[in-house]
Every structure is written in structure tokens, then in C-alpha cells.
Amino acid sequence: MTPLRAQLFRVGLFPALALASIPFSLPVSAQEAAAPAVKASESALPDSMGAADSDRAVVTRPDPASGMMLEVQSIQPLDAEQIPKVDPLALYGDEAVFDVYRKGSKIGTHRTNFTRAGNQLTVTSQMELKVDVLFFTAYSFKYDSTEVWRDDKLAAVAVTVDDNGKIVKTTARLEDDLFKIDGPRGSFLASAWVFPTNHWHRGQAISGTVLNTLNGRLAKIEVVHKGLERVQTKQGTIDAEHLQYTGQLRDVDVWYDAANRWVKMTFKARDGSLIEYRCNQCGLTTDQPAAVAGDDGASTNAPPAQQSANDPS
């Protein structure tokens, strides 16, 4: 193996956005975490996140649009009173920008834009990452998402992922009382709408189930509150609450300030390196309060106790 091919072989990247998202959110599973780094020619983004439970009963219903019988995945609907009130235009302005770093080097940018027309909010997220080895691009990743919200509910989302040349598309939309999801592995229905893995809305962190926009599947999550921490942004250092995702979306950590504003994210790549989102333009001022917002959107002056957001106790 030539030295150049050896370097390309060692490049193993991203699993996490709410990201993403990841946007975008791209965490690795326990099985993948134990595996060696992937080749640059292989998909570096896992599709095991949000795998459906194998022991659940299968329920089907006709698709409201086509009449085809589709599987229905039952989820606990969100209580509107529990969802934090988030006005992204007030929080971020019309755009939020994060610089993406790996091993101290900037490898890309994540942009989220917001527009409102009446009761409809449109959110577009675009991310482009590139890792160069010598004079070659060893790995590239592009993410394009468009969300449509009406009356504080997700009405539709369309995502295109270009993972080093492999294109994956996912769409989801409300149809009557069901949430239809069309992904790379087929179509199915969810019994209620869910948050996509785009982290601009803190409500995702209180959800028991989210739509993994990388693979078009539902993921059960739990969130551990790690407390208040100091976070460096381009506008200065602020206080923000550290949330850690576990369950079927893991190795993802997200930080929100007292106003429920997304200000930082980290996740582990398959090669074990840390990918970090740093706030470049997030609607911050140089004088942010030290309080931290709880899951109900209310502010407190002390970090919450460490616990699982889905712990029945």
C-alpha cells in the first residue's frame, strides 16, 4: 500500500449532527464505536441510529394519500405545554452559522436560515464538510434540509445527504393525524409528528423519539443534563447548559443558553476524533445572562441535577 493510500485509508469521519442535525445529529452506535476506522470510500456516517425495535408489534394503516397499507410506529405525542417556546428569528435573526472543527482544523460550515410568512416558518439547513489529505479531498459530506412549521408543529421536512458521493433522501409530512416518512429503506407512518435531528430547536432535547434525518428512521433518545458550563463563541464566553444524548442517538453533546439558543455541539467520529460545532453567528450579544433554561423554557439560576430526561423516576 502506498503512503498516500495508507493516509486515505485512515480517514474515518463523521457520525453526528442534529447534527445534526446534525444538523443535524450523527452519533455512532456502540457496535460501530468498537469497529475500526472506515475507509474514505466507505460511508462514514452510520445508518444504525434510530433502528426500530425488533420486538414491537407491527401495526398497519392505509396511507391517507395513496391508500397503500403502511406500518405505523407508535410514539408518545408531545404535550404542547412541554415544548419550549422558541422563536428562532428572535433568537438567531435570519441566520445561524457554526464553524465545524476536527483536530483543531476547520473542515466546514453549518448554516441555518429562518423565514416566516404568517403562521408558517421555513427553516433551511446546509452543511458542507471536506477533509483534504495532501492535494486530494479524502472525504466530503453535504447536508441540505428544509423544514416547514405551522402553528409550532412540524408540517414537513425534506433532506438530501451527499455522503462522499452517496446520495440519500428523506421526506416527512403530516397527513391528517399521521406523520408519513419516506426514507431510503421505504415508507412508514408515525402516530404523531416528531422533531427532526436539527438542533436549532431545544424541544428536540425533551422528545422521547426523533426523526434521524440521515437515515429516515425514528430514534429513541434519552438526554442527560450535565449542568451549566462556560462555552466559547465568536462573541465571547457565555454560560450554557450541557446536554448529552444517549439511547439510539449517542456520542452527541449539545449546549443551549438561557434563552434556549443552540450555541455548541460536539460528537465523535468513527476514528475517535472529536467533531466540534463552534458558534460563529448565533444571535448572541456580548452580555449573556448566567441563568440556564430548563426543559419547560423557564430560567433558573442553577444547573439542573444530572438525570435522564426520560427517566420515569
Give the pLDDT confidence of 35-89 residue by residue, as tens digits.
333 333 333 433 333 334 444 567 887 777 777 888 889 988 888 888 888 999 9
The rounded distance, in Å, linking the Cα atoms of 88 and 77 is 23
The rounded distance, in Å, linking the Cα atoms of 14 and 42 is 12
More confident residue, 118 or 28: 118
Q: Using an 8 Å Cβ cutoff, are 197 and 21 in contact?
A: yes
Please, which residues have CB within 8 angstroms of residue 55's CB and are 6 or more apart in sequence?
Answer: none
Judged by DSSP in three states, 31 sits in helix
The pLDDT mean for the chain works out to 78
**How confident is the model at residue 67, as a pLDDT?**
77
**How confident is the model at residue 56, as a pLDDT?**
53
**How confident is the model at residue 116, as a pLDDT?**
97
More confident residue, 55 or 100: 100
Decide if pLDDT at 122 tops 90.
yes
**How confident is the model at residue 14, as a pLDDT?**
41
CA dihedral sign, ordered 45, 47, 48, 49:
positive
The structural domains of the chain, with segments of one domain joined by +, span: 9-44+69-300
